[in-house]
Structures are given as structure tokens and as C-alpha cells.
């Protein structure tokens, strides 16, 4: 028997105001699109903004459905839209902001497992890391240099 230790690291910004200017603008777009989320059931709104290597920004917000789990998370809405509209572009940065209609979210809220897998697929496909920034409604912002920090033992096409 042996033991494997997996270490991850994140850069922590005290607030969105501390982010580099380009990332502040991207996060602000995530915040704005978050407000347009369709979340009548969970009352939990998420916005995502992607910066592509062609300079385009693609937005997504979570879209719920009464027939759970038919809805889709903000990150996957943005990622799949970028794949459909700009299939050859690489995702450079992803900014995510989440907020609850019922209580203030002060802690950074990372992508869910399904979104992590989707981000991993695109990072693998493009063979370059995607910077991921995530926050709640207020407070700290976490930065991951790659999805590998959030999903260190990822499943990809090499297993198929």
C-alpha cells in the first residue's frame, strides 16, 4: 500500500477590487449576468464570463427547470455557447460569481462537479490551462491557474 498526496494552490484576493483590471471587468460581467439567471426554485443565481483568446467574451447564467435536473449551470451555459459560436477559440479566463436570494454569500463559491468536468474537457481539448476566478456575492475571490486544482484526478478521453 502507498499513499498519494495531492496539493492544490489558489491565489486569494481580498475582494474583486484587488483583481487585475482585465479580470475585474470580466468578473463584473459575471456579476451582471448573474442577476439575469433563471433560478425560481433554488433562489441561487450564478453568472459566468469567459474570455477567449480571440478577445471575445461569452456569458452564461444558470437556467433552472421544474423537471430537475434538466437545468444548466452558468459555467456550462457559457462554455457550451463558446464551443458552439467560437469552436476554434481557446478559453483563457473564466470568472464566476454566485449569490443567493435568501442570504448573503460571502465565501468564494467554486464550480460544481459537473461544471468542473466540463471545464476539464475544454482545458484538455485546448491543451492550455484556463484561469478560473470565483467568488460569492461579496468577499474574497479565489484564483486557480488550472482546473487541475479543482479536479486533480480528472477523467478524460485517455480513459476511453
For 17-74, the pLDDT digits (tens) are 999 999 999 999 999 999 999 999 999 999 999 999 999 999 999 999 999 888 999 9
pLDDT of residue 159: 87
Distance between CA atoms of residues 95 and 81, nearest Å: 15
Kind and range of the H or E run holding 155: none
Residue at 160 is within a domain: no
pLDDT of residue 154: 87
Residue at 159 is within a domain: no
Residue at 2 is within a domain: no
Residue at 3 is within a domain: no
Question: What CATH number is associated with residue 32?
Answer: 3.40.140.10
DSSP string, 42-98: T-EEEEEEEEETTS-EEEEE-B--SSTT--B-HHHHHHHHHHHH-TTPPEEEEEEEE
Distance between CA atoms of residues 98 and 44, nearest Å: 7
Residue at 157 is within a domain: no
Confidence of residue 128 (pLDDT cuts 50, 70, 90): very high
Residue ranges of the binding site for Zn(2+) = 73, 112, 115
Distance between CA atoms of residues 130 and 104, nearest Å: 28
> Which sequence positions are flagged as catalytic?
75
What range defines the domain where residue 74 resides? Answer: 11-151
Residue ranges of the binding site = 62-68, 73, 112, 115
Residue ranges of the binding site for substrate = 62-68
Please count the residues of the chain: 160
Distance between CA atoms of residues 142 and 110, nearest Å: 9
Number of structural domains in the chain: 1
Amino acid at each position: 500500500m502507498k499513499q498519494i498526496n495531492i496539493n492544490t494552490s489558489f491565489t486569494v484576493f481580498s475582494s474583486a477590487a484587488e483583481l487585475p483590471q482585465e479580470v475585474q471587468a470580466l468578473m463584473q460581467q459575471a456579476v451582471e449576468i448573474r442577476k439575469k439567471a433563471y433560478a425560481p426554485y433554488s433562489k441561487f443565481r450564478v453568472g459566468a464570463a469567459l474570455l477567449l483568446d480571440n478577445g471575445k467574451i461569452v456569458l452564461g447564467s444558470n437556467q433552472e427547470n421544474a423537471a430537475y435536473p434538466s437545468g444548466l449551470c452558468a459555467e456550462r451555459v457559457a462554455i457550451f455557447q463558446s464551443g458552439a459560436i467560437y469552436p476554434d477559440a481557446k478559453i483563457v479566463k473564466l470568472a464566476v460569481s454566485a449569490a443567493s436570494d435568501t442570504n448573503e454569500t460571502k465565501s468564494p463559491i467554486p464550480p460544481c462537479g459537473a461544471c468542473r468536468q466540463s471545464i476539464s474537457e475544454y482545458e484538455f481539448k485546448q491543451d492550455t490551462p484556463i484561469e478560473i476566478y470565483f467568488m460569492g456575492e461579496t468577499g474574497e475571490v479565489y484564483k486557480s491557474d488550472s482546473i487541475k486544482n479543482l479536479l486533480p484526478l480528472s477523467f478524460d478521453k485517455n480513459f476511453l
